[in-house]
Amino acid sequence: MVPARLDWRFLLAEPEPDRVAYAGRPDERLLASLRLLCPTVDVLGSTGGTHQGDADLYGLVLAREPSERDLALAAGRVRPGGTLVVEARGPVGALTRTAGHEPPGRIARHLVGVGFEEVRSFWMWPDFERCTRIIPLDDPAAVQHAFAHSRHGAGLRLGAWMAHRLVGMDRIWDRIASSVCIVGRRAAHPAAPSLHAANEASPGPNGTGAPYSSIVHGLLGRRWTELGLDRSFPSRSPSFVVLTPRFRNSSHVIFMLLPEAGSGLVAKVCRQRGPCEKLDLEARNLLAIQARLGGLESIPRPVAFDSGEDHMILLQTTLPGRAMDRATVRRRGPQCCESVLGWLIDVQAATRSTAGPDGFDRLIGGDLSHLQALFPAERDLLERTRSLVAPLSEMSFPLVLEHGDLSHPNLLVGPGDRVGVIDWEQAELRGMPAVDLFFFLGYVGRAMGEARSTDEALRAVDQAFFGRRSWARSYVLRYAERLGLPRETLTPLFISCWARQVAGLARKVASCEDPGSPGPAFLDWLHSNWRFAAWRHAVEQSSRLDWDN
């Protein structure tokens, strides 16, 4: 699988080039990543490796912190219609940048001057190696959105104010953005460069940058009229920010398409080529949920599920609000609990149905079998789990719409404390009651306790649910009363929640790993995850669960 280090490739019209060359500062880890993208990577110039002849041209040339000579060499090896990507260090980086390497603004102006089209500069935040956000620096709307929606608070909101005044001034950004990716496309039919071309990459009057042809923009262009996109995006080159999640089980990058009117859109692009099980599941789940609940505003509406350059793309509506992250929960814990509890009761009461004879085996039996295959040495834990959840097979409990991962970053707080919920690939339309609430309250406990390690997370879960002083009990009992859950079902459902979390995490991560049976490193990682510890703790301490008032 191509590492997330190369997520900038989704800014290109063709993320999977057939020929790749590299120039500039040597970086063996970056070269290793490039070779996973394209088996043959030619190293140009004085950086070592293969030195190709002057006639060799490439669909993609990557220049890492190039000198003036490296930049000229790299630009000259891009074939007509091909792309040059330059990774340049900006400002703070100037303290460590090797003498002779070009700053970002000068590079962008040089590419325009030598005939490259669609030249745009992107801030790889916080840096190339740890990038979680790609921000177009020539677009005021994108820069302000990125800062205003950051979880890093006042410092970056000050950055949004600065951005309103500095955006488009590349010499200023040379001093602010530490890691800048410049992307330019060589014209398919090169014309003589002109002075007029120097302005082509500057922001247009509507606040967006030059026309752009990323993999997502290609899909939008093909289906623009069909999807009625002109209602929200008068320009066919809408502003965007790209989110590049780095957690282990992330399978896609996210284009946030910013509207000039109405609601925005989100485009999720699968990192791997070909079919994408996660996005396919989410698309089908969203269609089924919206069909059943009649346009529920707290859940995204699917707009299109299509392929762009052999990468599946799910286009869906955005939801208003800010992330219910740990900082928000610490500031407003009771309000967050009330909002999510109310949302769960409303949605799950509206979707409740009677469990059929296969409900227990379908929802629990498969997960326990999966855990047994993963952890054969945990025989005692699995046997005790089966014993504790077995009563559910003979109990009457409703089936409900289950999200499966009700915590940050999947929760938003909108106007009036209204909850929005995203990422529905793990959903069960006829799922288990209470388990979403248990998992959410566990997240609140970890956030309030500022838990970072597994031991700290376990302590937070224990304080939330176990013993007479558990603070989460009142929320659970209110939920059970509204959903008609007998109290004797709560302990088996609680045990099921954590066992199924481990099984679900194993499936999610395995789908993002290389094919084949799980290796020792994967199993060790899963075994050390806080969810596994919470499952074991729930089983071993089940006698301390007390659901009486």
Please choose, from the candidates 146, 214, 162, 226, the residue with its C-alpha nearest in 3D space to the C-alpha of residue 183: 214
**The pLDDT value given to residue 520:** 85
Q: Which CATH superfamily is 1-129+167-203 part of?
A: Vaccinia Virus protein VP39 (3.40.50.150)
Residue 138 in contact with residue 167, Cβ under 8 Å? yes
pTM of the model: 0.87
**The pLDDT value given to residue 403:** 98
Query: Helix, strand, or coil here: 81?
Result: strand
Helix%, strand%, coil% for the chain, nearest 5: 45, 20, 35
d(CA 16, CA 491): 50
Structure tokens at 76: 């000259």
Residue 13 burial (CB count, 10 A): 16
Amino acid identity, position 341: L
The bridge status of strand 133-136 relative to strand 353-354 is: unpaired
d(CA 426, CA 286): 11
Residue 424 in contact with residue 435, Cβ under 8 Å? no
CA distance readout (Å), 327 to 179, 323, 384, 450:
27, 10, 37, 9
**The pLDDT value given to residue 150:** 63
d(CA 132, CA 7): 9
Residue 26 in contact with residue 50, Cβ under 8 Å? no
Residue ranges per domain, the chain? 1-129+167-203, 322-544
User: According to the CATH classification, is domain 322-544 in 3.90.1200.10?
Assistant: yes
Give the bridge partners for 323, in sequence order.
412
How does pLDDT run along the chain (549 residues), one tens digit per residue?
Answer: 788 999 999 999 999 999 999 999 999 999 999 999 998 899 998 544 444 545 689 999 999 999 999 999 999 999 999 999 999 986 554 444 445 567 788 899 999 999 999 999 999 999 999 999 999 988 888 888 887 766 554 445 555 555 555 544 445 555 667 899 999 999 887 655 443 443 344 433 333 444 567 999 999 999 999 999 988 888 888 899 999 998 877 889 999 999 876 678 999 999 999 999 899 999 999 999 999 888 789 999 999 999 877 899 999 999 999 999 999 999 999 999 999 999 999 999 999 998 766 777 888 999 999 999 999 999 999 999 999 999 998 888 899 999 999 999 999 999 999 999 999 999 999 999 999 999 999 999 999 999 999 999 999 999 999 998 999 999 999 999 999 999 999 999 999 999 999 999 998 877 665 555 567 888 899 999 999 999 999 999 999 999 986
**The pLDDT value given to residue 468:** 87
Please choose, from the candidates 285, 270, 138, 150, the residue with its C-alpha nearest in 3D space to the C-alpha of residue 216: 270
Residue 59 in contact with residue 21, Cβ under 8 Å? no
